[in-house]
Amino acid sequence: MNIWLGAALAALLSLSAHAATTDISPRIQQVNYKSGYGSVQFKQSIKGYKTAEYKLNAKAGQILTVDFKPTNTSAYFNITAKNSDYALFNGSMMGNHFLGSLPADGEYTVQVYLMRNAARRNEVADYAISLSLANGDAVDNNAAFDQNLELQGIHFHVKADQVDGKSIVRIEPKGLEIDNTVQTRPLNGNIVRAEIGDLNNDGSPEIYIFTRTPGRSMPGELIAYSANNKKSLSEIYLPPISENPKIADGYQGEDSFAVVENTLVQRFPVYNNADAGAGRTGKMRQVQYKLVAGEAGWILREDKVTEY
């Protein structure tokens, strides 16, 4: 993924990162789901300044998952809500996967495009894209999660499992110099994504596992470990949102997380207040965290808060 610096944040919030000045009409595909939810897949291509737009209607609180697999590394996707001045997601900054709770009823557009330099060269991008829409209380809570990740010579095997009828996650490291003990943690929800990164640029990786509990207004959870000098694992602490009034105002869960080079990004819809019956404002809040050393381990410290 690209490094997210201050200047890149402005690009993240822009509606298009490739070539908005062209007059070439996009290829538009209307996506319809039976019963208001489901999953569809497309295998298509774009060339030059030609873009593809997948339009779908969704309700506030529904969970949209987009997986994008292009043959051209200059191809990305954005997500925008109808009549919005800002992008809900910008792939050139946050990669080729999105999973998040949608902030309002209405039409959403998933736009596939080539970055300006590749579009100018009239390059072609073949791609596969899947768009899954689920109700907040109907997320698959027993989907098997089994993934291997590697960075800087350290490997992690992350697997959802059952012990005595209870859900756990197993994290098996390989390549650490002193201790490769398997770590296990109870799961309150479903693993939706795992990523590996080096947020503090110390040459030793961290593993980040993102979970979600089915149901409207339920919080997401982060499980994370750092490979200390490639010797052993120690847990990374993310302070509860309730400890930070600036972030907590209007928070009711439905978090999604992503590792963006040297930051952890947490995003969630904003409600009018913390009351159970409160309505949504239609805005999203985004919190960027830096990984810093604490007195007894690693802590994710709030670095920047944005609303859009």
Q: Are residues 226 and 122 in the same domain?
A: no
pLDDT number for residue 10: 39
Q: Are residues 70 and 162 in the same domain?
A: no
Q: Are residues 108 and 30 in the same domain?
A: yes
Is 1 contained in some domain? no
Q: Are residues 170 and 295 in the same domain?
A: yes
Q: Is pLDDT at 203 greater than 70 in this prediction? A: yes
Q: Pairing state of beta strands 280-293 and 263-271?
A: antiparallel
Is 178 contained in some domain? yes
Q: Nearest to residue 155, comparing CAs of 180, 133, 131, 134?
A: 180
- Residue 126, domain CATH: 2.60.120.380
pLDDT band per the 50, 70, 90 thresholds, residue 19: very low
CA distance 292 to 289: 9
Q: Are residues 126 and 185 in the same domain?
A: no
Domain-terminating residue out of 82, 112, 134: 134
Q: Are residues 129 and 158 in the same domain?
A: no
pLDDT tens, position by position, 96-146: 888 777 878 899 999 999 999 999 999 999 999 999 888 765 554 445 688
Evaluate whether 264 touches 288 at the Cβ level (below 8 Å): yes
Domain-terminating residue out of 94, 113, 134: 134
Q: Are residues 268 and 160 in the same domain?
A: yes
Instruction: Provide the mean pLDDT of the chain.
Output: 84
Q: Pairing state of beta strands 87-90 and 52-58?
A: unpaired
Q: Are residues 172 and 128 in the same domain?
A: no
pLDDT tens, position by position, 214-259: 655 677 889 999 999 999 999 999 999 989 888 999 998 888 888 8
pLDDT tens, position by position, 270-287: 888 767 677 878 788 889
Domain-terminating residue out of 134, 168, 196: 134
Query: What total number of domains does the chain contain?
Result: 2
Structural domain of residue 255, as residue ranges? 146-307
pTM for the model stands at 0.67
Q: Are residues 194 and 288 in the same domain?
A: yes
Q: Is pLDDT at 39 greater than 70 in this prediction? A: yes
pLDDT number for residue 16: 41
pLDDT band per the 50, 70, 90 thresholds, residue 162: confident
